[in-house]
Amino acid sequence: MSKNNNTWSERKFTRFIKEGRGQGRGSGYKPWLTIQDFPSKGRVSRLKGWKTNRIHHFFTDTQTRFFYLLEWEDAVIDIREHFPLFNLEEKIDTKDINMENFKDKESGFPYTISTSFLITIKDCHGNLEYAARSIKADYELEKKRTLDRLELERRYWKAKGIDWGILTQKEINKTKAKNIEWIHAAYFLLENEEKAKDLGYLTEVLQEELTKSSLQVRLALKKFDEELKLETGTALMLFKHLIARKKIVVDLEKEIKLNLKPDELIARFNEKVREGEGLVSNC
């Protein structure tokens, strides 16, 4: 559904299927809906995922913030947004729901309902589990059509034996999500092969310096840039990278304040965590 033509039809459905939408896993997954498809009620986002190494599409701040929370969880190994519920009416009983509300008014073709997130979780024994989550603004839950749609989702995932739930902005830890947003892009800092060697060395040096510094973190970072004659902001970028890669552990439940000293802000250093690895919790 393009921004210029929102009419949904069998022809568009077929095109979406041929494009591979709603299919694949990990880096190969293509969301059923993208930000190019129709106008959003909130701020749209395109973000490269830590877990998937692909671009994710979100239509609201709440979707984006929940995504950040999922990115941080080591047990989450795949995040598929806007996952389509194919063959919905074949899989569940819809007799008590007015399905005309879920058809295009012009073409009469049924919309393909999608769930905001399908999440793949791997436990410490290597077993895979799945969870589906629908993201809605709290005021939307007062609308009959929204409730009917959510009931369709509930029945669909129940039939597939997959845990499903609803989240609104009230259930999202905004402070933690904003902290992860602040560090998110720095996760990929060493992707550039030309810069990776130098920056990788600098992150190790910065980590060592922070363990010894008694200055406020912001001043320690400024001093690091000045002493090594680096571009202003380089140390801050490296600091974010260290947090993103979980080599530096801070309390993300609280606002990250750079006017604190390292021993006040940083809970611990994880020197043994290799690049690209997170911390795996014990069973």
Judge if 165 and 227 occupy the same domain.
no
Mean predicted lDDT score pLDDT of the chain: 91
Judge if 226 and 89 occupy the same domain.
no
pLDDT at 42: 59
pTM for the predicted model, two decimal places: 0.91
Judge if 112 and 232 occupy the same domain.
no
| Distance between CA atoms of residues 283 and 276, nearest Å | 21
Residue 223: domain span: 176-269
Give percent of the chain with pLDDT exceeding 70: 92
Judge if 28 and 141 occupy the same domain.
yes
User: Does residue 86 lie in a domain region?
Assistant: yes
Judge if 108 and 35 occupy the same domain.
yes
Judge if 191 and 161 occupy the same domain.
no
Kindly report, residue by residue over 145-167, the tens digit of the pLDDT.
999 999 999 999 999 999 999 99
Q: Closest by alpha carbon to 151, among 192, 224, 93?
A: 93
pLDDT at 7: 85
User: Does residue 2 lie in a domain region?
Assistant: no
- Please tell me whether residue 61 adopts helix, strand or coil conformation: helix
- Please tell me whether residue 3 adopts helix, strand or coil conformation: coil
| Distance between CA atoms of residues 137 and 129, nearest Å | 26
User: Does residue 276 lie in a domain region?
Assistant: no
pLDDT at 279: 35
User: Does residue 280 lie in a domain region?
Assistant: no
User: Does residue 5 lie in a domain region?
Assistant: no
Average pLDDT over residues 133-147: 96
Say how many domains are in the chain: 2
| Distance between CA atoms of residues 149 and 147, nearest Å | 5
Judge if 119 and 184 occupy the same domain.
no
| Distance between CA atoms of residues 154 and 262, nearest Å | 46
User: Does residue 1 lie in a domain region?
Assistant: no
First to last CA, the chain: 45
pLDDT at 215: 97
Q: What Rg, from alpha-carbon coordinates, does the chain have?
A: 22
Last residue of a domain, one of 115, 149, 172: 172
> Is pLDDT of 11 > 50?
yes
Judge if 154 and 226 occupy the same domain.
no
Instruction: Provide the CATH number for the domain around residue 43.
Output: 3.40.1350.10
Which two tokens mark 51? Answer: 């877990």
How many CB atoms neighbour CB 195 within 10 A?
12
In the chain, the amino acid numbered 19 is E
In the chain, the amino acid numbered 23 is Q
Provide the H-helix boundaries in the chain. Answer: 10-18, 61-72, 88-91, 144-159, 174-184, 193-212, 217-227, 234-244, 262-265
Last residue of a domain, one of 156, 172, 188: 172
Judge if 262 and 193 occupy the same domain.
yes
User: Does residue 277 lie in a domain region?
Assistant: no
Judge if 120 and 136 occupy the same domain.
yes
Judge if 89 and 187 occupy the same domain.
no
- Please tell me whether residue 250 adopts helix, strand or coil conformation: strand
Pairing mode, strands 163-167 and 128-135: parallel
How many CB atoms neighbour CB 139 within 10 A?
10
| Distance between CA atoms of residues 179 and 68, nearest Å | 9
Considering only 31-40, 194-203, 266-275, which range has the smallest mean pLDDT? 266-275
Judge if 152 and 227 occupy the same domain.
no
More confident residue, 200 or 115: 115
Which two tokens mark 219? Answer: 């001043």
pLDDT at 281: 44
Residue appearing with tokens 């073409």: 107
> Is pLDDT of 40 > 70?
no
| Distance between CA atoms of residues 57 and 46, nearest Å | 5
Q: Closest by alpha carbon to 113, among 83, 133, 91?
A: 83
Kindly report, residue by residue over 227-272, the tens digit of the pLDDT.
999 999 999 999 999 999 999 999 999 999 999 999 999 998 875 5
User: Does residue 73 lie in a domain region?
Assistant: yes
Instruction: Provide the CATH number for the domain around residue 204.
Output: 1.10.10
Last residue of a domain, one of 172, 207, 238: 172
